[in-house]
Amino acid sequence: MQKEIISDKSPKHIAIIMDGNGRWATKRGLPRNLGHKAGIKAIERTIDAMIKFQIPVLSLFAFSTENWKRDKEEIDGIFSLVRDYLSENKDSFLKKGVRVVSMGDIKAFPDDLVSSLESVQEETKNNDKLTLNLALNYGGRADIIRAVNEVIKDKKTKIDEKDFEKYLYSYPLPDPDLVIRTSGEMRLSNFMMYQLAYCELYFTPVLWPDFGEKDLKKAIIDFQKRERRFGGNK
Ligand code: IPE
Ligand code: IPE
Ligand code: MG
């Protein structure tokens, strides 16, 4: 049985639907936002593991276009956690070689979060060990519809896949090879609907705040046992 990662068979881009923060907190009798806070620690562990395993792109679903349905208190808590995480980790991103990018309509966020995101993106833009792509106010359908509107703005009357992909938020990142969803839910919840067309799916019952290097390694080894066919027959 395969126990270690085979580096030349590794995914190039892993996308994670970080789910289960609320349940993690509730199980402990804590407010939901302490679950999100513990989720930040899991992000830090996952970034270190990605660098250790030499996988160059990590996309994290941090806030969906549907998450606005939650209580204002929870939403504000998530925003301030993300803002503090970005501003407190600038030096660490530079030291580790992490380049931060984002996808989603961040204009809807508070100014302080937008400016900390913009400044961390600018300051880390030359880093090349890991691209950390944060999905913030992101929805797969919104991504596609926005792309269509950009195509219309460019007055195109016909477009092929290769061209269309240039209009997506994630461009020029490669499509994810592996998507991981924690907390036992088996759905995509509107994440990267176009980009995941041929992605391998991995679901684990582990709640996001408990996720770490061991769990990432397990997912990668599972991925390496899959036979990807892309519609072919060998
Ligand atoms: C994921 O954890 C984080 C976000 C969606 C922002 P949840 O907050 O969805 O946790 P559960 O699903 O309620 O346990
Ligand atoms: C998906 O999790 C969104 C993020 C991880 C940011 P949700 O917890 O919002 O998804 P549903 O509502 O269970 O489908
Ligand atoms: Mg959830």
Is the pLDDT at 234 greater than 90? The verdict is: no
- Residue linked to tokens 């993300």: 82
Atom of ligand 1 minimally distant from the CA of 36? 3
Atom of ligand 2 minimally distant from the CA of 63? 6
Is the pLDDT at 131 greater than 80? The verdict is: yes
Active site residues per annotation: 19, 67
- Which residue minimizes the CA distance to atom 8 of ligand 2? 19
Indicate if ligand 1 lies below 6 Å from the C-beta of 61: no
Atom of ligand 2 minimally distant from the CA of 19? 5
Indicate if ligand 2 lies below 6 Å from the C-beta of 64: yes
The pTM of this model reads 0.98
The token pair that represents 91 in the structure block: 């030096």
| Candidate of 16, 17, 18, 19 to mutate for ligand 2, largest count of ligand atoms within 8 Å of Cβ | 19
- Which residue minimizes the CA distance to atom 2 of ligand 2? 19
Q: What is the pLDDT of residue 87?
A: 96
Domain 10-139+174-223 top-level CATH class? alpha beta
Q: What is the pLDDT of residue 7?
A: 93
Indicate if ligand 1 lies below 6 Å from the C-beta of 23: yes
Indicate if ligand 2 lies below 6 Å from the C-beta of 208: no
Averaged pLDDT score across all residues of the chain? 98
- Domain definitions of the chain by residue range: 10-139+174-223
What Rg, from alpha-carbon coordinates, does the chain have?
Answer: 18
Indicate if ligand 1 lies below 6 Å from the C-beta of 19: yes
- d(CA 20, ligand 1 centre) in Å: 5
Give pLDDT tens digits for 24-55.
999 999 999 999 999 999 999 999 999 999 99
Closest CA to 15 of 140, 201, 161: 201
Phi-psi region of 46 (alpha: psi -120 to 50; beta: other; left: phi over 0): alpha
Phi-psi region of 230 (alpha: psi -120 to 50; beta: other; left: phi over 0): left
Closest CA to 19 of 187, 220, 198: 187
d(CA 114, CA 117): 5
- d(CA 63, ligand 2 centre) in Å: 8
Atom of ligand 1 minimally distant from the CA of 25? 14
Q: What is the pLDDT of residue 183?
A: 98
